[in-house]
Amino acid sequence: MLNNKSSFTNTQILAWLEYFSKKAGLDIEKIKLIDISKKQKNLIPTIETHKRVLVFADAGDPNFFFNLWDYGLGDCDIWFKTGLNPEGSVNICKLSEMIDTEITSPSVMLIFNPNSRSSYRIGMQNDNFSQGSVRYVASEIRSIIVNKLHLDDQDTICIISGESIAVESAMIASDGQIIAVEYNKHDRYSMEENINKFGLTNVTIVEDTSRRSMRNLPVPSLSFIVATERFEEEVQNLLKINPQMKFVVYTLELDILSSILRIFEKYHISRSEVIQISMSKLNRKNVFEAKPAPWIISGEVAE
């Protein structure tokens, strides 16, 4: 089981960094370092957004290379070597050639991704997500929502019934934690499929916002809520966890909007912003079709 203690010392990590930079003829500053022997981290999004990733791993996941290949990273070149100290030659091949390889001891690998992007782009197309029970918000609207969350890479956020928002938030807050509340068991299955599909290790799925479900989890500083008749209960529970909780709330219904504003006032949550997003798309008949126009309400507890 992974813990907060790395299999590699700082001295060894620096030695490996120098070893691979010399072997590959690279400046150290061009290599992204990620130690997954110490803590579960989002390896796939890291490889997607960096051309050169130096990975420190330990035994544990028998499908490590298969999962990378299954995601579509088989064309990456990989320089692979086992052991705690850098010495001797290194095995060089395509990642696709290692799908049957199991990591059985501390290992280090330099992965070259020729198709990497320089940064993560919010607003993924819905076809990328698991086609389960969930109806995903349009990618354009999702990009606005994620922008309004103002996420930092170490944030802890609670997301209620916002599956695709949870996925994109997990990629941005790569060193933080996402608590995904899914009331419906089928939606929980879809969320699990998305976690596996995108290689996310910083998402925890719970069935509600009760003390029992949230016990022993990191305390979120921010919540994103798709508002329903449970909204007041959710606000109560989240404020018990963090009295300074910040809220971003989504709704398509006017009566729900009214209740959100009333509940905000009741619990001394000051509204910082209320916006409505209107969007139309040109269909195959060259006619613009209006899409659902949600309200996004932001607020935080008044001082």
CATH architecture of 10-112: 2-Layer Sandwich (3.30)
The domain limits of the chain are 10-112, 126-301
Q: In this predicted structure, what is the pLDDT of residue 118?
A: 59
pLDDT at 114: 87
Q: What is the pLDDT of residue 266?
A: 94
* Per-residue confidence (pLDDT) for residue 108, from 0 to 100: 94
* Joined tokens for residue 242: 């963090």
End-to-end CA distance of the chain: 42
Residues ≥6 apart with Cβ < 8 Å to 287: none
Residue 2 pLDDT: 44
Instruction: Report pLDDT for 1.
Output: 39
Instruction: Give the residues across from 177 on adjacent strands.
Output: 156
What pLDDT was estimated at residue 303? 67
pLDDT along the chain (303 residues), means of 10: 71 92 85 83 85 89 86 91 89 93 91 78 74 78 90 92 91 90 92 87 93 92 95 96 95 92 93 87 84 91 76
Q: Which pLDDT belongs to residue 119?
A: 57
Question: What is the fold, at CATH topology level, of the domain defined by 126-301?
Answer: Rossmann fold (3.40.50)
pLDDT at residue 42, rounded to an integer: 83
Tell me, yes or no, if the pTM score tops 0.85. no
| Structure confidence at residue 152 (pLDDT) | 86
Count CA atoms within 13 Å of residue 33 on its CB side. Answer: 17
